[in-house]
Every structure is written in C-alpha cells, then in structure tokens.
Amino acid sequence: MTSIALAEWLQLWLDTDSDQPAYHQLYLLFRKAILTGKLPPDSRLPASRLLAKDLGIARNTIIQVYEQLALEGYVHATTGKGTFVADVSQDSIEDGPAGETAASPNVAPYPSLSQRGVRLVHRLGFSNRQQGAFMSGVPDISEFPFKTWQRIQNKRWRNQPEDLLGYAPAGGYEPLRHAISAYVNSARSVNSSARQVIITTGIHQGVDVITRLLTEPGDLVWIEEPSYWGLRNLLLSSGLRVKGIAVDAEGLNPDPQQMKHPPKLIVITPSHQYPLGMVMSLSRRRMLLEYAHQHGCWIVEDDYDSEFRFGSRPLQSLQGLDEWGRVLYAGSFSKMMYPGLRTGYLVVPVPLADHFANAVAELYREGRLMTQANLAEFLAEGYLSSHVRRVRNLYASRRQCLIHAIQRRYGNSLEIIGDDAGLHLVLGLPDGVDDMAIAHMALQRGIIVRPLSDYYLDGRQAKKGLLLGFGCVSEEQINAAFPTLGEVIDAALAKIS
C-alpha cells in the first residue's frame, strides 16, 4: 500500500467528530492495518510530517502513535531511514497476514444505500426538537400525572415480577387487551372483543405488521393527500406502490379513474383527517366500506387523536360501521399519555385476530409487559379518562388562544383549516407562497412550524400552509411567539404580492 493510499484509508476511517481521541483512533487503525496485512512486514510508515498534513492533525499526534506502536513491537524505527512494520505474523495472530487486499480495482463502491434507502434518507420528516411554539403532534407532557404513574409502577416492581420481564405472549398482556377493548367499544363505538386487540408499539408497527400479513411488495396502497409523512415513508420503504388520493371536505375522494385500480390497502384518518382536520362523511364511509368489500381491499383506520374533540362529541369509528371485516383500527396512547411510552394497538377482524397476535410476537419479539400491566391498571382505574378530560379543556383553551392571536394579526385574510379538535391547526397561505422557506426562516428565529407542503406525496399538488401545534404550547408562549412568526409570514407574503 502506498503512502497515498494509506492516507486515504486513514481519512476514510478517522472520525474527527468522535469522542475517541484521534490519537487512539489512529493507533487502532495502524494496528489493524499491520495485523491484517494491509501494511505488510518491512513496509515503511509515511513520514510523520507528511501524514499530519494529509490528515489535517498535529504532527505530534502521529509521532506519539508511532512511538506507542514501536513500544508494543508492531513497528521498529531505524535512525535516519524511517519507521518499518515488524513481522508480527507468528506472534499475534493465528494465520498470519492475508497480504495486500486493498488495491483491487473491482471492488464495489462504498457506501451504497439501496434505492429505497436513498429515498428514505432524502425525505425525512422527523425532528429532534420537540418543545416550544409551535411544535405539532405532541401533547403537554408536563400535565401527565407522574405521581400516579410512578405509584402504579413501583407497586409492581416491588413484587419482583419475573413473569412481566420476559417476552410478551402473542397479542400482548391479556388484561391490557381487555381494558383497551372495553375502552374503544365505549369511547369509539368500536365493535371488538379482547381477542381482536393486538398490542403494538404504535401506529408504525401496526402498519408494518399489516403490510407483512396482507400485502406483497409491489402492491398498491392508497394514502390521503396530504397525510402523515411517517406512514408514507414506512410504506414506501416496505416496497409498496404508494398513491396519494385527494381529500375534499368529506374526506378521501378517489376519482373514477383511480377507483378502476383497487388498492390492497387504504390508509385513512376518517375521524380527523391528518393534517387538515376534516371528518369523513357517513356517505363517504359507506362508499369506502362497500368498495373495500367488493374489491378485497383492507382499510387501515388511523384514529390518532379522536380523544381531543372540543365542541362536539367524537364521531363513532369507521370500524363500528364495518360489517365485512375490512377495517383494521389503529390507536395509540402517545397523545393521551406521552409519546415516549410507545404503546398502541390494532383492532383486527375476528378471523385475522390470532394471525396478527402471532405475527407480532414472531416478527418483533415484543416484551415490555411491565409497561403494559401498568397501563392496564391506569385504564381500568379510570386515571386515563380523567387525565384526558382535564387536558382536553386545556388544549381547547390553547386552540382558542392561537386562533385569537391569528385573527388579531390577520383578521379573516388567512384561512384557519381544521375543525374544533386535535393538537394543531393549519394556517392556510396563498398559492404562490413558499411555506418551506417560511418554516426555515421561522426556525432561525426559534419557532418550529411544519410546512403543509411536506405532507404531500406529490409536491406539485401541495396546498400551502403551516401546521401550528398548540398542545404543548402555553398561552403565554403562543402570545409571545405568534407576532414573531407573523413577521416571517409577512415577509413571505410581501414577496408574492
């Protein structure tokens, strides 16, 4: 290996962002090069001055590394000639160096993500920030009844509950399945028995097991346009053909041409369209159920925040209307409790129940029965209902506060999209506005907003707007932050006028 090739190899592997000092990394890299024959016996190490320059690090570091290697017998220095690799083949490793392997011109390029991998990492939706105005999709965690939860938790740990520390049985912790069945039957008019309830880590895992049991790679899936980026990316990454279907005031609205090609899956948010907030009409629900029944489609009903309706009673679930077992109902405790809990559920038709229970156990090897047991008690004792009742009022006030802040500045000139529900609203913007640029500018001033464009599979179809979360934002924060956001919006509006 020439000095140049060695320097390139070291550059590839030296991680200057690492918490490991460069000295230690270099030492390990040289040792590896020597032990594996990349640097064969008697080859000469590059001059410390040149290598320091190539790697952009202090020459002293290189000298220290060479000295350490000499001390341990990996190299020997000959005054006036340089530093040479020792023959370590007999001492250190069984088989001796494998010889030079680096220079082959036929080697595959590196790194090489798959096509679906590239698509995924180039269109990420998640954010590491989760606090502050106007973060959407996150509840106010500070309102969570910590003490109650801790008391429930401690009671179980004190009993050294070995049976709750193993892998989960098929379907999850039985008492939690019962508690969830009772909850969704009463709160959401779902028609379920405990056997139909499958505990998951959330909607992502729920959709994943659905695709694995009910679709093949390459199958067609309908999602709403716009919709939640997380599920869109999961479905794309699963090798499915994902088609965005427009929504109107009544919800998902496939055109006749689209209906000629029935999909295998239809993923929808009928109670509260995400992110626009409309409720799917009864006639549209019936049409979809009938269509799914006729064509053997499966409908995934993501009932992601139906607990937070402020004005009206929640509508009953689509699942409760389904007479042919085409609906898979998905819920989660992320927004009612706290996101990090990672506990959700599927309610699946009776004939599929055992298959789903078994598949989750097999595919994900789940555990966390302790959390499931604590949650079962939290539900059964009514703590969840009373917590939800309390924060529902809080969120309703914050929504009003945000609407007032918007109207104080804009009157009715910008549309407020979304019904009286949920943890966010959408502030509509005129067509020519670059909502992504606004989000970017706002972030530089410490304000988080999501551009509505991000929620479209096909950016050319995108309506412009901003998702403004109010669930985790106090009224003080709302009133303090909105004027700043308004300045950013006004600057963008000025550009197109």
Min CB(458)–its own copies separation in Å: 19
Interatomic CA distance for residues 169 and 362, integer angstroms: 10
Chain residues 22-61 in contact with its own copies, contact rule CB under 8 A? 25, 28, 32-33, 36, 38
- Rounded to 10°, the helix 174-188/369-380 angle is 40
- By beta-carbon proximity to its own copies, the closer residue of 170 and 396 is 170
Structure tokens at 389: 């009742």
Of residues 306 through 345, those in contact with its own copies by CB under 8 A are 320-321, 323-325, 334, 338-342
- At CA 260, angle to CA 254 and CA 261, rounded to 5? 90
| Residue numbers 217-256 binding its own copies by CB under 8 A | 217-219, 230, 233-234, 237-239
Phi-psi region of 479 (alpha: psi -120 to 50; beta: other; left: phi over 0): alpha
H-only helix segments in 75-173: 89-92, 115-121, 146-158
Q: Could you tell me the smallest distance in angstroms from the CB atom of residue 425 to its own copies?
A: 21
Work out which of 69, 85, 168, 452 binds its own copies, going by CB under 8 A.
168
Q: What is the CA radius of gyration of the chain?
A: 29
Pairing of strands 251-252, 265-268: unpaired
Q: What is the DSSP string of 268-319?
A: E-TTS-TTT-PPPPHHHHHHHHHHHHHHT-EEEEE-TTTT-BSSSPPPPPSG
Footprint of its own copies on 193-222 (CB under 8 A): 193-196, 201-202, 204-205, 212-219
Q: Which of 12, 246, 259, 496 binds its own copies (CB under 8 A)?
A: 12
Closer to its own copies at the Cβ: 322 or 435? 322
Interface with its own copies, residue 71, by CB under 8 A: no
Residue whose CB is less far from its own copies, 80 or 340: 340
Choosing from 78, 79, 90, 128, the residue that interacts with its own copies (CB under 8 A) is: 128
**Contact indicator for 441, 365 with CB cutoff of 8 Å:** no
How many chain residues touch its own copies (CB under 8 A)? 123
> What whole-number distance in Å separates Cα of residue 228 and Cα of residue 185?
26
114 binds its own copies (CB under 8 A): yes
Look up residue 408 and give its amino acid: R
Question: Is residue 484 a contact residue for its own copies (CB under 8 A)?
Answer: no
Question: What b/e string do you get for 480-495 counting C-beta neighbours within 10 Å, with b at 16 or more?
Answer: ebbeebbebbeebbee
94 binds its own copies (CB under 8 A): yes
All residues at 6 or more sequence positions from 123 whose CB lies less than 8 Å from its CB, including other chains: 229, 233
Handedness of CA 97, 102, 103, 106 (dihedral sign): positive
Which of 64/358 has CB closer to its own copies?
A: 358
Binding mask 173-192 for its own copies (x = CB under 8 A): -----x--x---------x-
Q: Given candidates 49, 53, 76, 116, which one binds its own copies under the rule CB under 8 A?
A: 116
Cα-based angle 128, 16, 10 (whole degrees, multiple of 5) = 130
In the bound complex, what is the minimum distance in angstroms from residue 432's beta carbon to its own copies? 30
Minimum separation from the CB atom of position 66 to its own copies (A): 19
Shortest distance in whole angstroms from residue 356 CB to its own copies = 9
SS3 content of the chain, % helix, strand, coil (to 5): 45, 15, 40
Task: Identify whether 40 is preceded by a cis peptide bond (ω within 30 of 0).
Answer: no
Q: Does 82 bind its own copies (CB under 8 A)?
A: no
Nearest approach in angstroms of CB 216 to its own copies is: 5
**Of 323 and 490, which has the nearer Cβ to its own copies?**
323
Chain positions 278 to 297 lying near its own copies, rule: CB under 8 A, are 281-283, 286, 290, 293-296
**Is 17 among the residues that bind its own copies (CB under 8 A)?**
yes
Which of 2, 4, 5, 20: binder of its own copies (CB under 8 A)?
Answer: 20
Cα distance between residue 319 and residue 329, in whole Å: 6
In the complex, the smallest distance separating the C-beta of residue 495 from its own copies, rounded to whole angstroms, is 31
Out of 113, 259, 480, 491, name the contact with its own copies by CB under 8 A: 113
Cβ atoms of 189 and 347 closer than 8 Å? no
Asked whether position 351 contacts its own copies by CB under 8 A, the answer is yes
| Contact set for its own copies, span 138-157 (CB under 8 A) | 138, 141-142, 144, 146, 149-150, 153-154, 157
